[in-house]
Structure 1
Amino acid sequence: MEPVDVALVLAVDVSASVDFQEFALMIGGLSAAFRDPSVLAAATGGPRGAAALSAVFWSDTAEPAAPWTRIQNAASADGFATLLEEAPRLPRPGATALGDGMVAGLTLLARCPAPATRSVMDVSGDGRSNRGRPPGPVRDLGVAAGVTINGLAVLDEEPDLLEHYETEVIGGPGAFAMSCADYADFVEAIRRKLIRELRGPGLLVV
């Protein structure tokens, strides 16, 4: 795969707290974002004109959800959106092993076939870690490897989840955490988050 401006892995919570309607809203929001012209412009606006994207679903275990895709035009962005829409919900709903999900995302990121100027992991979920490795030390390992880890906390289950993401999940250059009230609000929140991640730190999102 040719070089890209950013390699971005989506680490998506599919634990038992995410019911199937909420899962559909979340995947629909992600797919819609990659068909949005503003997200495409952010992905292709750097010196190399492209971004590499992949995804992993996590619960108490983790499974790859979409292979690495080089997004360089509307057709490739639409193709990645379709991969997300068609990805089976695996693993089965279980506990919220946030740290283990982050490990899976970082492992996938380390295997990105495209040389990238920046490496970013986008973590989204609606609960604190309640099984497996604690997320903080995993975050520290990722940051030491040069990865920026950002978070999107869905507050429908735990209204103070954003603080957990800010203290235990995010890290690295330009890292940030966002929140949304519920999965109905996820669509706009993930669009704004992806634009910010793909453009890089220090740039405003409209």
Structure 2
Amino acid sequence: MMETLLALTVAPAQMTAAPPAQVDVELLLAVDVSASMDIEEARTQRLGYVEALKHPDFINAVKSGMLGRIAIGYYEWSGAVNLQSVVQWQLIDDAEDAQRFAEKVDKPVTGSRRGTSLSNAILFGTQSIDSNAFSGARRVLDLSGDGPNNSGPAVAPARAAALERGIVINGLAVLIRPSVSLTPLDQYYKNCVVGGPGSFVLPVHEPEDFAIAIRQKLILEVSGVAPSVSALPTAGEDTAECTFPFWQ
């Protein structure tokens, strides 16, 4: 009887949480659906992600890693994060996994919200990466948007907090009909949004370029290969424009 009681007492102390699953990269996709992004742009953007996730080049990039698997998540944001859009973290190591994740992303576009808070998007993404059940050699937050930070906290401290946790932030600057700003949007992303080792900004100028640009960006992020000269490699620089009060 005493042995049984001792076993019951000791057992909980010996129980430990399962270790996080090892992956080559933790990749979180954060997509702008603010009011400046009309329904057609939002639909084109989302379709670009769906097509990129199912593309053989993306699958090959995943398989070419040391472990041959990644963890991936997705959410949409404007002035705040749309919690209904969140696609929870999932392991991808083959085409079937990628297909299932793409199907979760492929939802009807119902509209957009006011404000463009890159800072809130970064803060949410940082917390999501920190709290997931995976451990990657690299951790990447992939932000796409068509305007500067114009609501919520300042963007520079949010970026700094992510970089302190070893998260690399890359950007897709949508320049089809960008919001008004004092600095070209791709330069704003370079100076104020992205950062970390190997970080880069990829500009998109035409709707038909979405799918190719998104696929290129995902392959670069999964493979860890340095961006081509068409991208804007940067480590991020704090400048006055990062705290300027922009409005859509």
What secondary structure is seen at the aligned counterpart in 2 of 1:105?
helix
| Inter-partner Cα distance in structure 1 for 2:104 and 2:110 | 12
TM (norm. structure 2) is 0.78
Give the match for residue 62 of structure 1. 81
Question: 2:43 matched to 1:24?
Answer: yes
Residues 202 and 217 of structure 2 are in contact (CA less than 8 Å); yes or no, is this contact kept in structure 1? yes
Identity %: 34
**Higher gyration radius (CA):** 2
Shift of 1:63: 2.8
Give the match for residue 128 of structure 1. 148
Question: 2:191 matched to 1:191?
Answer: no
- The one of 55, 58, 68 equivalent to 1:39 is 58
Unaligned runs of 5+ in 1: none
What secondary structure is seen at the aligned counterpart in 2 of 1:31?
helix
What secondary structure is seen at the aligned counterpart in 2 of 1:101?
helix
Question: 2:95 matched to 1:74?
Answer: yes
Residues 42 and 109 of structure 2 are in contact (CA less than 8 Å); yes or no, is this contact kept in structure 1? no
- The one of 147, 162, 166 equivalent to 1:142 is 162
CA RMSD of aligned residues (A): 1.9
Residues 200 and 227 of structure 2 are in contact (CA less than 8 Å); yes or no, is this contact kept in structure 1? no
Unaligned runs of 5+ in 2: 1-19, 230-248
Question: 2:183 matched to 1:163?
Answer: no
Shift of 1:204: 6.1
| Inter-partner Cα distance in structure 2 for 1:18 and 1:79 | 26
Residues 146 and 172 of structure 1 are in contact (CA less than 8 Å); yes or no, is this contact kept in structure 2? yes
| Inter-partner Cα distance in structure 2 for 1:110 and 1:83 | 22
TM (norm. structure 1) is 0.93
Shift of 1:19: 1.1
| Inter-partner Cα distance in structure 2 for 1:110 and 1:124 | 20
| Inter-partner Cα distance in structure 1 for 2:90 and 2:172 | 22
Residues 170 and 194 of structure 2 are in contact (CA less than 8 Å); yes or no, is this contact kept in structure 1? yes
Give the match for residue 24 of structure 2. 5
Higher RCO (CA < 8 A, seq sep 6+): 1
Shift of 1:47: 1.3
Shift of 1:166: 0.0
The letter for the 1-side match of 2:71 is: A
Q: For the structure 1 residues 136 and 89, does the alpha-carbon distance in structure 2 shift closer, same or farther, using more than 3 Å as the test?
A: farther
